[in-house]
DNA sequence: ATACATACC
DNA sequence: TACTGGTATGTAT
DNA sequence: ATACATACC
DNA sequence: TACTGGTATGTAT
């Protein structure tokens, strides 16, 4: 179970080409192996392995005849999906290159060529390309990054700045697709078929123009992927990073050719666990996924197998999500959490809960929202996470009410929790 | 809220053509109006009306622009459903004519021409056509039926007999489709496209032949519906009852023509409540449903609107449910319930629970099954139903274990239940 | 998982 | 006098 | 509804 | 010394 964990930071990634992956793996392992965090991760991995083992058992018990029946049904479904495949939309996924780091470099150009990371000793959110040469990358704890690269410079994150530059990029995106969809600060999906037709330009040229304009307006580079679906566009934007782009022609064959050897892990939504689960059944690429489609449908839930089938044939995410005009993104939750030095002092913990409740209440008030459910998240010193949730009799944004509810949940737990390192 | 209830037994139904519906309505109402049952039904109807009112409010708050967006998405979906529409399957729904009653008539021909019903003073399951002339019909309490038709003869049901005749019909069905699907004792779905091709016969001729053969082998008549989907076949089998059949040609236009004026209530799965709900939005026919498709998608859950959209365009239920060879129907629950003279005697009720648990355990043993959840159903003297459910630590078919679990649930309720009239 | 409603025969 | 019994499925929490 | 895991940036 | 914080979504019960 430990190999997956120590492998976490050695996966191929833009800017990591010359890295001595074995060395990185060893450093990460040595810096982690005696920590509580490592122990918890190992336990979680054991749980995943157990789940996979159960699936293997189930797979072994499926009669070949049953699998054949499923295969026929799946093939039918695939045929129908293919028949209604829509290749007329042109999606672009734009992804800023090491966004947070690049923003800081813009104002402090001397940071370009020294290894630099945004974040601190606990956690890094982005690293510049100079740092990546040492194996430093996002979501790596800073103290490990520092071990890999002693001269690494840390820069504090500055979200106000990132938002400013994000808004500049969005000004550009708007020209190409007024309804563009910004997932986060540093990326967006645009549907440019109308734009291409209006300007008589190829999608590749539009992507070039868009990236040029982003660079002019922000002095930042970005990468782009062009494809008939969002999912594939996202895969493509990652393919030629940084400052590059990739286009898949909108034909069934071009899509199939790309997918045949594409690692499933490259697909948005396929994370560490799903990747490992599929790997246990010999499925590493989307081509494997297509070949093993009957097994996939037999083993996974309908939601998952629908998703995986769509991945396998490159269908899904063609249509722009239907939204009434004037629609604004509807937030579904709002939270605050904080990590601190582990403590079992109930008074201190209660004070933290009250403070977090204040922040949440302020957030709700700011957005003119009310909540009916309050969730308390606790992470123990050993990284064990527990959540407790309760429904309020009526919607509120009152800090006192929220705090009281959370404290009630907290007291209900008193017995079990040793010391806590996080509350949310 | 009372009109729907008193209308329950006056809907158009085979054999009810000459009936004085106003008279029937009055009798049913007069016989019911002072009962606890009527009170509960009225309360339930009020709840439905409230739900409808809430939906109306929601409907009123939908902006026309939002509705237009939904409509565009729905039209897209409908187009895709139409594009992948499968008209190559030929489904037959065979439905025995007043099955239980006809079986008794077979052995006692004198019952043919006197009004007769299977069941008793509490409840009737089927009536012969002589009885239907008086407004007597299935699911009507016997004492009301007797009021409508004082000379009505009651016959006790005899499931062994029904099963015997059902097996004879199934011998016939098997010839036309070895994989036929028997929903209940008196009906089945057959997919006869292969049979038609093999014999170079039209579907109508095959249906005639099948009905002739059923009549020869059982001396019972049945009706049949032929259509490209199960859903439509079922509608058709009801259209020319008794001893008749109806065929929809497998073309988009023929289906659309049938649907345009077909009451939604004729569709399997659309019951009293959904019918009334749709009626509240001016939707009475499948044609209405198609016209109001955007509203339907806006108001109903995804499961419901998927179903209703399929109903509206006549798509759904083309494919034979995919089952591995050797598949046997998997039962999902097994239950016993009994109605008795209302009592609050805890001892007597506990004894009934133990007895029911014995029956259930025997049933589980007979089918080699184990259960992990035990549900106790209680109906109070005022017809109020409550269910309590619990999970067992491990699967069992032991009567004592099941009984203990049910009694635990029963005791947990002791406070509230007045006297009970049913346990299950 | 639990509670209850809807639907069909 | 008197409104079932059995199973599956949907919805809400 | 409740509890928890997965995924993404 | 040191493995985040915020949101959405899926799964199981």
Predicted local confidence at residue B3, as pLDDT:
41
Give a yes or no: residue A241 inside a domain.
yes
Residues A223 and A181 in one domain: yes
Residues A367 and A23: beta-carbon distance below 8 Å: no
Q: Which residue of B has its CA nearest to A68?
A: B324
Alpha-carbon distance B316 to B84, whole Å?
11
Give a yes or no: residue A306 inside a domain.
yes
Alpha-carbon distance B5 to B11, whole Å?
11
Residues A152 and A143: beta-carbon distance below 8 Å: no
Give a yes or no: residue B406 inside a domain.
yes
Alpha-carbon distance A309 to A294, whole Å?
10
Torsion angle in degrees (nearest 10) through CA of B165, B166, B168, B171? 180
Pair of tokens at residue B320: 């034979």
- Determine if the peptide bond prior to B291 is cis (ω within 30°): no
Contact yes or no for B63 and A322 at CB 8 A: no
Q: Within a 10 A sphere around the Cβ of A83, how many other Cβ atoms?
A: 10
**A182 Cα to chain B: minimum distance (Å):** 21
Nearest CA to the C1' of F11 belongs to which residue?
A: A301
Q: Which residue of B has its CA nearest to A71?
A: B322
Predicted local confidence at residue B83, as pLDDT:
85
- Going by C-alpha positions, the residue among A248, A253, A244, A256 that lies closest to residue A227 is A248
Contact yes or no for A69 and B322 at CB 8 A: yes
Nucleotide of closest approach to B270 (CA, C1'):
C7
Residues A399 and A344 in one domain: yes
Give a yes or no: residue A326 inside a domain.
no
3-class secondary-structure state, position B154: strand
Residues B236 and B295 in one domain: no
Q: Which residues in A148-157 are b (16+ Cβ under 10 Å) and which e?
A: bbeebbebee
Residues A167 and A182 in one domain: yes
Alpha-carbon distance A124 to A141, whole Å?
6
* pTM: predicted TM-score of the whole model, two decimal places: 0.90
Sole residue written with tokens 């065979």: B94
Nucleotide of closest approach to B33 (CA, C1'):
D3
Alpha-carbon distance A189 to A231, whole Å?
10
DSSP state string for B340-404: EEEE--HHHHHHHHHHHHHHHHHHHHHTT--EEEEEEEEEETT--EEEEEEEEEEEE--HHHHHH
Pair of tokens at residue A260: 């045949």
Interchain contact A323–B (C-beta under 8 A): yes
Contact yes or no for A69 and B326 at CB 8 A: no
Instruction: Map chain A to HEC letters.
Output: CHHHHHHCCCCCCCCCCCCCHHHHHHHHHHHHCCCHHHHHHHHHHHHHHHHHHHHHHHHHHCCHHHHHHHHHHHHHHHHHHHHCCCCCCCEEEEEECCHHHHHHHHHCHHHCCCCEEEECCCCEEEECHHHHCCCCCCCCCHHHHHHHCCCCEEECCCHHHHHHHHHHHHHHHHHHCCCCEEEECCEEEEECHHHHHHHCCCHHHHHHHHHHHHHHHHCCCEEEEEECCHHHHHHHHHHCCCCCEEECCCCHHHHHHHHHCCEHHHCCCCCHHHHHHHHCCCCCEHHHHHHCHHHHHHHCCHHHHHHHHHHHHCCCCCCCCCCCCCCCCCCCCCCCCEEEEEECCHHHHHHHHHHHHHHHHHHHHHCCCCEEEEEEEEEECCCCEEEEEEEEEEEECCHHHHHHHHHHHHHHHCCCCCCEEEEC
Residues B245 and B255 in one domain: no
Predicted local confidence at residue A199, as pLDDT:
98
In chain A, the N- to C-terminal Cα span, in Å, equals 29
CATH code, A361: 3.30.1490.100
Predicted confidence (pLDDT) per residue in B183-200, tens digit: 899 999 999 999 999 999
Domain residues for the domain of A357 are 338-423
- Going by C-alpha positions, the residue among A106, A117, A214 that lies closest to residue A167 is A214
Contact yes or no for A72 and B323 at CB 8 A: no
Alpha-carbon distance A390 to A404, whole Å?
11
- Give the contacts of A24 (CB within 8 A, at least 6 positions apart): A9, A10, A135, A148
Predicted confidence (pLDDT) per residue in B158-176, tens digit: 999 999 999 999 999 999 9
Alpha-carbon distance B127 to A376, whole Å?
61
Predicted local confidence at residue B323, as pLDDT:
80
Average pLDDT estimate for B98-120: 97
Q: Which residues in A256-279 are b (16+ Cβ under 10 Å) and which e?
A: eebbeebbbbbbeebeeebbbbbb
Residues B206 and B236 in one domain: yes
Name chain B contacts of A325, Cβ cutoff 8 Å.
65-66, 69
Pairing of strands B222-227, B245-247: parallel
Residues A184 and A236 in one domain: yes
Residues A214 and A242 in one domain: yes
Element (H, E) at B306: helix B302-313
Alpha-carbon distance A220 to A208, whole Å?
14
Alpha-carbon distance B364 to B239, whole Å?
39
Find the Å distance, CA of residue B379 to C1' of nucleotide C1. Answer: 22
DSSP state string for B235-303: HHHHHT-SS-EEE--SSHHHHHHHHHT-BGGGSTT--HHHHHHHHTTT--BHHHHHHTHHHHHHHS-HH
Give a yes or no: residue B73 inside a domain.
yes
Give a yes or no: residue A10 inside a domain.
no
**CA separation (Å) from A35 to A338, A385, B85, B305, B317?**
20, 16, 59, 52, 57
Predicted local confidence at residue B11, as pLDDT:
53
Average pLDDT estimate for B54-62: 93
Residues B298 and B350 in one domain: no
Give a yes or no: residue A149 inside a domain.
no
Alpha-carbon distance B23 to B45, whole Å?
23
Question: Is the pLDDT score of B284 beyond 90?
Answer: yes
Which residues share a beta bridge with B93? B189, B225
CATH code, B59: 1.10.150.810
**Does the annotation mark B187 as catalytic?**
yes
- Give the contacts of A301 (CB within 8 A, at least 6 positions apart): none
3-class secondary-structure state, position B188: strand
**A303 Cα to chain B: minimum distance (Å):** 14
Residues of chain A with pLDDT under 50: 1-7
Among A249, A270, A299, where does a domain finish?
A249
Complete edge-to-edge strand list for the sheet that includes strand A222-227: A181-184, A187-191, A91-96, A222-227, A245-247
Residues B244 and B263 in one domain: no
Q: Which residue of B has its CA nearest to A64?
A: B324
Predicted confidence (pLDDT) per residue in B63-97, tens digit: 898 899 899 989 988 998 888 899 999 999 999 99
Interchain contact B64–A (C-beta under 8 A): no
3-class secondary-structure state, position B223: strand
Predicted local confidence at residue A398, as pLDDT:
94
Predicted local confidence at residue A11, as pLDDT:
53
Predicted local confidence at residue B315, as pLDDT:
94
Alpha-carbon distance A82 to A314, whole Å?
9
Give a yes or no: residue A140 inside a domain.
no
Positive/negative CA dihedral, A335, A341, A343, A349: negative
Residues A170 and A226 in one domain: yes
B234: which DSSP letter?
H
Interchain contact B78–A (C-beta under 8 A): no
Comparing CB atoms, the residue among B65, B69, B325 nearest residue A322 is B69
* B145 burial type by CB count under 10 A (0-12 exposed, 13-18 middle, 19+ buried): buried
Torsion angle in degrees (nearest 10) through CA of A177, A178, A183, A184? 110
Among B218, B249, B280, where does a domain finish?
B249
Residues A212 and A223: beta-carbon distance below 8 Å: no
Work out how many domains chain B is built from and give that number. 3
- Going by C-alpha positions, the residue among A192, A218, A216 that lies closest to residue A206 is A192
- List protein-proximal bases of chain C (any atom < 7 A from a CB): 1-9
Q: Which residue has the higher pLDDT, B325 or B301?
A: B301
Residues B208 and B266 in one domain: no
Q: Within a 10 A sphere around the Cβ of B415, how many other Cβ atoms?
A: 6
Alpha-carbon distance B8 to A84, whole Å?
43
Pair of tokens at residue B146: 């007797």
Contact yes or no for B69 and A323 at CB 8 A: yes
Comparing CB atoms, the residue among A65, A76, A80 nearest residue B324 is A65
Contact yes or no for B70 and A322 at CB 8 A: yes
């Amino acid at each position: 179970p430990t190999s997956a964990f120590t492998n976490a930071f050695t996966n191929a990634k833009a800017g990591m080409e010359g890295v001595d992956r074995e060395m990185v793996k060893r450093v990460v392992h040595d810096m982690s192996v005696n920590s509580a965090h490592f122990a918890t991760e190992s336990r979680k991995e054991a749980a995943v392995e157990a789940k996979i083992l159960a699936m293997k058992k189930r797979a072994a018990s499926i009669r070949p005849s049953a699998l054949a029946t499923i295969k026929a049904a799946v093939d039918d479904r695939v045929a129908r999906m293919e028949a209604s495949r829509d290749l007329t939309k042109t999606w672009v996924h734009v992804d800023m290159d090491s966004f947070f780091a690049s923003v800081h470099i813009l104002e402090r150009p001397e940071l370009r060529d020294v290894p630099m990371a945004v974040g601190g000793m606990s956690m890094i959110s982005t690293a510049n390309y100079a740092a990546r040469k040492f194996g430093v990358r996002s979501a790596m704890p800073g103290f490990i990054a520092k071990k890999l690269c002693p001269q690494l410079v840390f820069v504090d994150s500055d979200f106000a700045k990132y938002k400013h530059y994000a808004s500049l990029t969005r000004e550009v995106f708007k020209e190409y697709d007024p309804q563009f969809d910004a997932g986060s600060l540093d990326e967006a999906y645009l549907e440019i078929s109308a734009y291409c037709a209006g300007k008589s330009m190829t999608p590749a040229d539009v992507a070039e123009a868009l990236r040029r304009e982003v660079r002019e307006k922000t002095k930042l580079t970005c990468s782009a992927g062009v494809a008939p679906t969002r999912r594939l566009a996202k895969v493509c934007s990652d393919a030629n990073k940084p400052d590059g782009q990739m286009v898949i022609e909108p034909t069934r064959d071009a899509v199939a050719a790309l997918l045949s050897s594409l690692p499933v892990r490259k697909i948005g939504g396929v994370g560490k666990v799903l990747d490992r689960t599929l790997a246990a059944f010999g499925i590493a690429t989307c081509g494997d996924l297509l070949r093993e489609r009957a097994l996939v449908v037999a083993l996974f839930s309908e939601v998952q197998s629908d998703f995986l089938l769509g991945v396998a044939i490159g269908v899904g995410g063609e249509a722009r999500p239907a939204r009434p005009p004037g629609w604004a993104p509807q937030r579904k939750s709002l939270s605050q959490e904080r990590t601190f030095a582990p403590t079992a002092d109930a008074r201190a913990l209660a004070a933290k809960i009250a403070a977090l409740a204040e922040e949440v209440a302020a957030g709700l008030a700011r957005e003119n929202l009310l909540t009916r459910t309050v969730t308390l998240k606790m992470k123990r010193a050993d990284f064990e996470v527990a959540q407790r949730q309760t429904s309020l009799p009526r919607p509120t944004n009152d800090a006192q009410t929220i705090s009281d509810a959370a404290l009630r949940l907290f007291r209900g737990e008193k017995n079990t929790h040793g010391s806590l390192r996080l509350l949310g």
